[in-house]
Each structure stands twice: as C-alpha cells, then as structure tokens.
Chains A and B, each alone.
Chain A
Amino acid sequence: MSARRFAGRIGINLLGLLVFAVMTFPVYWMVATSFKEGQNILSDTPQFFPSPVTLSNFSDAIHREFFWDVVKNSLIIVAAVVAFSMVVGFLAALALAKFKFYGRGAFIVLILGVQMVPLNALIIPLYIQLSRVGLTNELTGVIVTYMTFVLPFTVWTLRGFMLGIPKELEEAAMVDGSTRFGAFVRILLPLVAPGLVATSIFAFIVSWNEFLIAYVFLNDPQKQTLTVWLAGFTTIRGTDWGPLMAAATLTALPVLVFFLLIHRRIAFGLTAGAVRG
C-alpha cells in the first residue's frame, strides 16, 4: 500500500470516527446528564464527564407519581400487541406465501399501502370512532391501533421467510406420514422462528415508542404510557433536567437493547418494495 493511500485510509477512518461522535453525542449527553449531580448539571461550563457519579436522578424519576403505573401499562400494551400481531400476521403471511388465490395481488398492495397512510391524519376519526364505542381511556383501543402499525411489517417479513422454505421439505415430511399440521409444527414453525423473533421485537419497539395515539386516547394519568408520562415531565418551576434525562434513559434503554439485535431485518422490511424478494 502506498504512503498516499495509507494516509487516505487513516483520513477516511478519522472522518468515520468524527461522524460517529457527532451522531451519538446527544445519546451520550442524555446518559451523562442523568448520572450528574444537580449543581454539575446547572453549571456555566458544561461538565463533559459525570463526576461524582450519582444515582439520585434515577431514584427521583422512579419515585415520581405514576411511574410504575405507566410502566405497567406500557408492558401490557406491548405484550398484547406482540402476541396478537404475531398470530394475525403469521396467518396472513401463510396465505400470501403458500396459496394462490383471487385477490392476492390486491392484498399485497393493501399491505404495502398501509405503510403509506398518514396516521397523524387519522387521529380525529379514530378518536371519534373510539369514543362512540366507549373505548377511550382503555388500553384495548390503543392495542388494536398499534397492531395496524405493526401488521404490514410482520406480514411482509414472515412471508419472506416462508417463501424461502423449499416446498420439498414439507412434501418430504408428508410423504413420511406426517399430517399437514405435523409438517407445519415440525418443519415450517422452526424455520420461521427467527422471523417471528425479529417481528416481535419490531412490534415491541413500535408500541413502546408511540406517543400520539396514547396521548389522545388515554386521559387518566394512571392509564397513560411511559412516553406520554415522559412528555409531561416539566414542572411549574421549569424543567428538572437531571431526573428528566434519567427517565429518558430508562425509557430508551429497552428499545436500544432490542434494536441492536434486529436492525438489519427492519431495514429490509421497510424497504421490501425496493428489493426483489
């Protein structure tokens, strides 16, 4: 490698490091602030590394009113959305991957088109619809709505997994005397399992992060979700940055962990239209 190319390599990698630093700084700043003592947060010269490190911001955040209520609500919503969208999405994917039928193309367009519908524009009719059937302030309304956000991705990803399974495998199982259900449980399900993991984490992230629907549908402080609770963190005396950043860290933490596990699948699912599947 010539000296010039070597210098070029180093330059490029330094640029990469710089971009990394700029992009992740806000996240770092949140975490750093949440571990700082009050007077170090409100100092004229910012303190770039927390010292001394304190956990008092976290205990403030956790002991704020309704923290455990909203955590519980978020967990219930997430669990229900993951479970229901897995079942419903799996069945739909099965139909799209394993059957030829009239209206299949139309349904694929519908599934892809759902991603295009601006949900912020539908918040008014959704709210009126729910208030008519008396489901405002109930987690049920939120759960059903979130399912719709998650379904296109779920169906599309699982369908991709199922298409990848050679039909000879299923046939072989059936020749060996297995019933169709037996073939399904022993052959199809294990092969689709990674897809189920990826899609359930996606469902987790979407329903954990969502704000607007929960904000409009759930009015009681005890009924709200973690993100709505976090958005209402400002006190009359102004913002308490330490506890706010600690609460933000706690909110982001589960998502950050899960996201690192599946980000490849998500990029694939959202742009499935662009790549040949």
Chain B
Amino acid sequence: MSSQSGSEAGFPALTAAAGPHVRRRPFHERTFRALSPYLLLAPAAVVIIAVLGYPLYLLTRLSFEEFGLASLVSKKGTWIGLDNYSQIFHDRQFWTVLFRTVVFTVVNVGLTMVFGTLIALLLAQLGRSMRLLLTTGLVLVWATPVIVAVNIFRWMVDYEFGVLNWTLTELHIGDFLNKDWFADSTTGFAVITAIVVWGAIPFVAITIYAGLSQVPTELVEAAEIDGARRWRIFKDITLPLLLPIFVILTSLSIIWDFQVFNQIWIARGSEPEEDYWLMSVSSFAQAFSLGEYGFGAAIALVMVCVMFLATFVYLRQMIRMGETR
C-alpha cells in the first residue's frame, strides 16, 4: 500500500520511489518503510491486547467455569458450560438488579443530558465574564475525584450535622432533622444519583456548548428574519446539527452510568446492602466477597452485552468513521 500512496504519507522519498523511471530504493529499505507503521503501533497494540483483549477472552471463558477461591490457588477452573447463566436467569435477585440498573441508568443519563443541555444553552446566553466564571466552576466540579465527591456528599447528607437536612428544614420543605438518607434505598439512590449527575454535568455541558458555538450564525439569523420562534430555531436548526454530539454523549453516559460502582461502594462503606446492588456491584460482590469468580464473570458479561446493545447506534457511527479515515 505504502508504495502507491506515498505522497499522502508525508514522506517525500516515498513519492520519488513510486515513479517507474526513478531508481528504486534498495529492497531492505523499502521493507523497513513498509513495516515501520506496524513497528510504531506494536507497543500500543501489545498493551491493549494484554489489558483488554486477553481479559475479555478470559472473562468469557470464566463465565462458563466454576471458578472459586480454590481455583485461584490451583489456577484452574472447571468447565460447567451454561450453568452460571442458567443460574443467573433463574435467579429472582438478578432480574431485580438488572431492572434496578436499567432504571438507574435511564434516570441518571436523562437528568445528566437535560441539565447538561440547559446549562450549555445558558452558557451561550451569558456575558463573557459570567461565562468564564461558570465554566471555571464546571471545570472544578469535573476535576473533583469521584472518591472525594462521594465523601463530600456523605458529609452534606449526614443525618446529624449535614448541611442538607438543616437547609431543607429551614426552607420549611418538611422536617428533615435527623433524617438518614441511606436508611431507605430510594432516598439513598437519590443521593447517589445526585453524586453521579453532579459529576457528569460539566463534561456534557461544556461539550454541548462547544458544539453550539459552531452552529453557523447566518442560519440562525436567517431563521430569525423569517420570523421563526426561539424554540423552532432550537428544534429545527440547532438540534439536528448537534445530533452527532448528542449521540456520543448519550452513549458515553450510558456506558458510564450502567457500570456505576465507586459511588455506591464507598457511600455504603464497602459493604452495600442488597437493596443497593447494581449490576457492577453484584458482579463484584459475587466474585470478591463470595469468591464465586465464574458466577461474577457471567454477570459482568451479561452487563457488557446489555451495554453494547444500548449503544449500538454509537458503535455503528464509530466503525463507519474508522472506515472513512
């Protein structure tokens, strides 16, 4: 390939070699040149295969095996075919956890996208200095490590001295004195949703704002002259232009929210009650708390499949991109 399209490769010597009347380069030099992109890629490929490729294969194999703590020592599992899966699919708890995870993902992705879009639209309307201030604030939130964020929220919703209970009571929204938010899993998940959405909004808002600022102003102005209303302009001009960005952000959010783990694990002091289990927590608990690595792997694999189905559109777009480049 490289000998025909050398001019595109940015190395003038290759262009010269393509002409038939020019003396060809020595064989070993041509071979080296054809091989060099592969040599350059090799280290990256090795790392990716070692940390993602092989583990993905191992995950699949483990899910067909009985792999307990003893297997960890003997380094060998026992092939049991589909037993893990039939156990999962006959398990009431699995379906509860799957349902809970789907609801959690829909709520979190929805809230993130709605608030992210609203804040992006707000950013576009703000004056320069206020926009800089808000962007800086968003970046601060974005940079906050998850572990730090979870601990801040745990402190804010502390049942005795938390600032949230005090504020809600002062605002006469109700009597929240000594309310323990984690006592009930519904309010507990409300707090966890707040942590996740709070942390995810900045990336979404800043990215959508970047997209908004690339919408050609002539289009919007022309529509305004034609007497179009704000909402129509947004719906018919801005939204279609931003669609690819929305697809990507939604897909990435689905991927991130479907596998939420840290927030729950730390908010519940490293031993979440079963009411708090999402897919990733249940897979982790089966493997590392109960020592059922094969069973945990099967749950993880189901999780991966559900996620790939949910982000199918994005995947297709990505593969198409790889082909055109």
Interface residues of A (CB under 8 A from B): 9, 12-13, 15-17, 19-20, 23-24, 26-27, 29-30, 33, 41-46, 87-89, 91-92, 94-96, 98-102, 104-110, 112-129, 131-132, 144-145, 147-148, 151, 155, 167, 170-171, 174, 180, 205, 208-209, 211-212, 216, 227, 230-234, 239, 241, 244-245, 248, 251-252, 255-256, 258-260, 263, 267-268, 270-271, 273-275
Q: Is B317 an interface residue (CB 8 A)?
A: yes
**What's the Cα separation between A102 and B317 when bound, in Å?**
21
**What's the Cα separation between A259 and B293 when bound, in Å?**
37
Contacts of A106 in B (CB 8 A): 322
> How distant is B6 from chain A, measured CB to nearest CB, in Å?
8
Q: List 6 A-B contacts (CB under 8 A).
A: A23-B138, A44-B166, A128-B58, A170-B10, A252-B144, A255-B143
> How distant is B15 from chain A, measured CB to nearest CB, in Å?
10
**What's the Cα separation between A122 and B287 when bound, in Å?**
12
**What's the Cα separation between A271 and B242 when bound, in Å?**
12
Contacts of B245 in A (CB 8 A): 271, 274-275
* A24-B137, A129-B55, A260-B136 known; A273 vs B248 contact (CB < 8 Å): yes
Chain B residues with a Cβ closer than 8 Å to the other chain, count: 113
A263 touches B142 (CB 8 A): yes
**What's the Cα separation between A218 and B317 when bound, in Å?**
38
**What's the Cα separation between A213 and B212 when bound, in Å?**
36
Contacts of A23 in B (CB 8 A): 137-138, 141, 198, 201-202
**What's the Cα separation between A231 and B291 when bound, in Å?**
22
Select one of B122, B140, B247 contacting A12, CB under 8 A: B122
Contacts of B134 in A (CB 8 A): 16, 19-20
Contacts of A256 in B (CB 8 A): 140, 143-144
B119 touches A121 (CB 8 A): no
* A98-B11, A128-B72, A148-B48 known; A212 vs B262 contact (CB < 8 Å): yes
B2 touches A100 (CB 8 A): yes
Select one of B5, B130, B140 contacting A24, CB under 8 A: B140
Q: Is B196 an interface residue (CB 8 A)?
A: no
Contacts of B258 in A (CB 8 A): 118
A43 touches B145 (CB 8 A): no
**What's the Cα separation between A122 and B325 when bound, in Å?**
30
* A13-B126, A23-B137, A116-B315 known; A274 vs B259 contact (CB < 8 Å): no
**What's the Cα separation between A276 and B219 when bound, in Å?**
20
**What's the Cα separation between A277 and B150 when bound, in Å?**
36
**What's the Cα separation between A24 and B104 when bound, in Å?**
24
A122 touches B52 (CB 8 A): yes
B142 touches A29 (CB 8 A): no
B288 touches A252 (CB 8 A): no
Q: Is B168 an interface residue (CB 8 A)?
A: no
What's the dominant secondary structure at chain A's contact region?
helix
A211 touches B139 (CB 8 A): no
B139 touches A263 (CB 8 A): yes
**What's the Cα separation between A119 and B249 when bound, in Å?**
18
> How distant is A276 from chain B, measured CB to nearest CB, in Å?
10
B143 touches A117 (CB 8 A): no
A109 touches B318 (CB 8 A): yes
Q: Is B296 an interface residue (CB 8 A)?
A: yes
**What's the Cα separation between A125 and B63 when bound, in Å?**
10
**What's the Cα separation between A58 and B247 when bound, in Å?**
44
Give B320's nearest chain A residue, CB to CB.
A109
| Chain B residues numbered 37-65 whose CB sits less than 8 Å from any CB in chain A | 37-38, 40-41, 43-45, 47-48, 50-52, 54-56, 58-59, 62
Select one of B52, B198, B251 contacting A26, CB under 8 A: B198
**What's the Cα separation between A263 and B40 when bound, in Å?**
28
Contacts of A239 in B (CB 8 A): 154-155, 158
Give A163's nearest chain B residue, CB to CB.
B10
Give A98's nearest chain B residue, CB to CB.
B10
Interface code B137-168, partner A: CB below 8 Å = 1, 0 otherwise? Answer: 11111111111110111111010110100100
